[in-house]
Amino acid sequence: MRPAKPRDKRIDKPREKVGDFTALALSKAAYTLSVHDPRELPAPGAAEIAFAGRSNAGKSSAINTLTGRRRLAYVSKAPGRTQLINFFSLDGRAFLVDLPGYGYAGVPAEVRDHWETLVGDYIANRESLAAVVVVMDARHPLMPLDRQLLSWLRAAGRPAHILLTKADKLSKQAGRVTLDRVRRELIQLAPRSTVQLFSSLKGEGIAEAAGTLSRLAAAKNKSPG
């Protein structure tokens, strides 16, 4: 019989439970406001967890899956044209922020420029921004615009959490290989980042994402600077 491991070596940390003081109230997400111009942003308050991603990567589906709401992120979805930052209050203790998607085909230069100004300014200057969730299709991660976004996050010293979504489209083995490759690349691209596989279709990775986002929001609420 093997000797029992010393107590402090055991991996028996308590798991984050829904309803914990620090857990994000994702299921309580309530639409609050939309912003088209950085000057319209509300006064900074509770921690903001922002979601960004290439068009069609699965960002809206990920938001809907994480909040358990079928159409939350579709409320004001207007492909590529109306570029809005949408705020959802999480029980007044944090905000989920849906940033406009990027990489739409055939978008006029002024729309692209507006995206850069709106999202670039938000990432560089938003005091209450705790972290950005970058949603990427697990089959095509780290496309050029994803890398640009990660370079902004790195420059601003912002934590990033990458969701490699549509993981159901990959075999278990291919998923692991992708996860390892992206994790290695992120060491250079965005050192304050974490990455996981996710599937809105299969409901895979929800607990891991909710736990990570709760920790990031709680850390920001504790030390807002």
Question: By the criterion CB under 6 A, which residues form the site for ligand GDP?
Answer: 53, 55-61, 101, 165-166, 168-169, 199-201
Which residues, including other chains, have CB under 8 Å from residue 89's CB and lie 6 or more apart?
Answer: 28, 29, 30, 32, 95
- Minimum CB distance to ligand GDP, residue 93 (Å): 25
Q: How far apart are CA 116 and CA 36, in angstroms?
A: 12
Closer CB to ligand GDP, 61 or 193, in the complex: 61
Q: Widest CA span of the chain, in angstroms?
A: 70
Q: What is the DSSP string of 140-206?
A: S-S-HHHHHHHHHHHHHT--EEEEEE-GGGS-HHHHHHHHHHHHHHHHHH-TTEEEEE-BTTTTBTH
172 Ramachandran zone, left/alpha/beta (phi>0; psi -120 to 50): alpha
Nearest alpha-carbon partner for 180 in 219, 150, 138, 130: 138
End-to-end CA distance of the chain: 52
Neighbours of 41 (CB within 10 A): 18
Residue type for position 76: S
- Minimum CB distance to ligand GDP, residue 81 (Å): 13
| DSSP letter (8 states) at residue 65 | H
Closer CB to ligand GDP, 61 or 89, in the complex: 61
- Minimum CB distance to ligand GDP, residue 135 (Å): 6
Closer CB to ligand GDP, 58 or 128, in the complex: 58
Alpha-carbon separation of residue 100 from 36, 73, 105, 219 (angstroms) = 10, 11, 14, 25
- Minimum CB distance to ligand GDP, residue 7 (Å): 40
- Minimum CB distance to ligand GDP, residue 199 (Å): 4
Closer CB to ligand GDP, 165 or 178, in the complex: 165
Closer CB to ligand GDP, 43 or 78, in the complex: 78
- Minimum CB distance to ligand GDP, residue 133 (Å): 12
- Minimum CB distance to ligand GDP, residue 157 (Å): 26
